[in-house]
Amino acid sequence: MQDLLNRVGGEWRESATGRWIDVEDPSYGTVFARIPDSSAADVDDAVRAARTAFDTGEWPRLSVAERAALLRRLADHLEARVPELTGALAQDTGTAAKLCGALQVFGPVVNLRGFASMEDLLAAPTVWDQSGPAGDGQWRVTREPIGVVAAFVPYNFPLYEAVWKFAPAALAGNTVVLKSAPTTPVGVQELAKAAEAVGFPPGVLNVVHGDADAGSALAAHPGVDFISFTGSSGVARKVMAAAAANLTPVMAELGGKSPAVVLDDADLSLAVRGTVFSSMIHAGQVCVATTRLLVPDHLYEEAVTAAAHYADLLTVGPALAEGTDVGPVNNAAQLAKIERIVAAGVAEGAVVAAGGRRASKVAEGGYYYRPTVLRDVANTMSVARDEIFGPVLSVLAYSSLDEAVAVANDSPYGLAASVWSQDEERARQVGDRLQAGLVWINDAGAIDVARTPLAGRKHSGVGTELGPDGLYAYTLPKSAWASHGKGAQAAAYGMMLHPELAG
């Protein structure tokens, strides 16, 4: 069993409490590591280290090019360790090994380079001349780092999401305190180790492990200048409430109940296969997963049959076992939640077409649920409205395109959506009507971090991650005016008050 440690100002530390939290391998329910059960005192140490690095350290004063170069070195370092990290993160997250390398490790490597490629957005100020009756001058707008960023990382993609927060924040010149999820701390730990190895200055990347006590203290800390949170809307409300006392701004990327709208001219096999992939990958623990499949009435039976067939093909097993397609869900509480919501859906009238139960005869002690397809689902049912975060796909029928759009939008969430049609322009027109921050046409899962902003609607988020907007979220603009007329603007307005103020 390994002990993971907090990273504070260049030092690896246990918690001041002396307490530890066990970390389970979800494939077997066995403990393989432990993390410090950090307290408010540990959080305070980490925030002060980040503050010192920001206020007096070299990081904010390096050029953007120098910071981008270190992000690229970080990407190279992680890429060289893909096989090693794949095994560690498969054990930590439960992601099937055949997908874990690409999803949990190489994806973050590509993303680091994508964020580094945005350096030109910060490298030069925006400048323009302005003239008027009060005199001539020049405006200059620069982007400055905000300060100390507190970043809350979810359990489903720990290294991926840590990169999504740390890379743009660091590129902009901020220092960061990362709070790991207590059930999947390995990705955050490995990022901190890699940052140390490639030469990030002490205090630029700090890590605090722990549970609710550490999270609450970080959200409420007056030394934090900006919070980036990914997780459930329920926890986000608590974070935002704690941050409000200090007027700390919060950016939150939250849950989804994303629709896949199949039009009547779609390649139905492609649409169903793509949606099953989207809803079942990583045991359904993906915020942008398309978990509501909307199909025209006359194609409904064919779609349900196909979806159930593809779901039944998937092999459930331990993350590192050869042949596993779908690994375990991450923890016992999540498995119980999936069971509870599916049972509620069946009680409301949904019918199980595939799965609908825990997976038996897998690995003793693991948290396994069969890939599940539910038919006869109405959009008022819990299985259509609640984010299940498990391998569960609900199939709904519609009679007109207007009804399909209305059903797709009738959700508390608005994160992602897909539209399937052989007429791409028609599909785009439907996509434009959907209340979602990310829309795929005849696909699912694509994201370009350097170009495509992600801004969830409704309960799916506050603010924008990724793309130029996501980078600018970690900055504050500074506007500066230089008068070519030696104070002509002030003199002109001063004359209105008293002639002597005009000079």
DSSP 3-state of 270: helix
CA-closest candidate to residue 46, choices 5, 3, 75, 18: 5
| pLDDT score recorded for residue 92 | 98
For residue 294, give the amino acid letter: L
CA-closest candidate to residue 161, choices 183, 182, 178: 178
Paired tokens of 71: 């992000």
Q: What angle do CA 402, 406, 410 make, to 5 degrees?
A: 175
| pLDDT score recorded for residue 495 | 58
Cα 158 from Cα 247, distance rounded (Å): 27
465 is catalytic: no
CA-closest candidate to residue 262, choices 457, 445, 430: 430
CB neighbours of residue 472 within 10 Å:
18
CA distances from 91 to 27, 84, 88 (A): 7, 11, 5
Given the residues 253, 322, 403, 424, select the one marked as catalytic.
253
CB neighbours of residue 409 within 10 Å:
16
In the chain, what are the domain boundaries?
2-253+473-479, 258-441
Q: Are 302 and 268 in contact (CB under 8 A)?
A: yes
Output the DSSP codes for 295-317: EEGGGHHHHHHHHHHHHHHPPB-
Cα 423 from Cα 264, distance rounded (Å): 10
Cα 302 from Cα 352, distance rounded (Å): 15
Cα 493 from Cα 252, distance rounded (Å): 43
Candidates 3.40.50.2020, 3.40.605.10, 3.30.465.10, 3.30.70.20; CATH matching 2-253+473-479:
3.40.605.10
168 phi, psi to nearest 5 deg: -65, -35
| pLDDT score recorded for residue 361 | 82
What pTM did the predictor assign? Answer: 0.96
For 101-118, the three-class secondary structure string (H helix, E strand, C coil) is HHHHHHHHHHHHHHHHHH
| pLDDT score recorded for residue 452 | 96
DSSP 3-state of 465: strand
| pLDDT score recorded for residue 365 | 94
Torsion of CA 356, 360, 365, 369, to 10 degrees: -20
User: What is the mean pLDDT, run by run of 10 residues, along the chain of 503 residues?
Assistant: 96 97 98 98 98 98 98 98 97 97 97 98 93 82 98 98 98 98 98 98 98 98 98 97 98 98 98 98 98 98 98 98 97 97 98 96 93 98 98 98 98 98 98 98 96 97 97 97 77 67 63
Cα 93 from Cα 396, distance rounded (Å): 31
Q: What is the CA radius of gyration of the chain?
A: 25
| pLDDT score recorded for residue 503 | 63
| pLDDT score recorded for residue 502 | 63
Q: What is the DSSP letter of 321?
A: S
Cα 284 from Cα 247, distance rounded (Å): 35
Q: Are 26 and 316 in contact (CB under 8 A)?
A: no
CATH of domain 258-441: 3.40.309.10
Characterize the bridge pairing of strands 20-25 and 30-36: antiparallel
| pLDDT score recorded for residue 485 | 75
Enumerate the H helices of 361-463 as residue ranges. Answer: 382-385, 401-409, 424-433
CA-closest candidate to residue 393, choices 309, 296, 269, 498: 309
Q: What is the DSSP letter of 59?
A: G
Helix then strand count (H, E) for the chain reads 18, 23
| pLDDT score recorded for residue 277 | 97
Enumerate the H helices of 94-199 as residue ranges. Answer: 97-100, 107-116, 120-123, 158-171, 186-198
Answer positive or negative: Cα dihedral of 49, 52, 55, 59.
negative
CB neighbours of residue 341 within 10 Å:
20
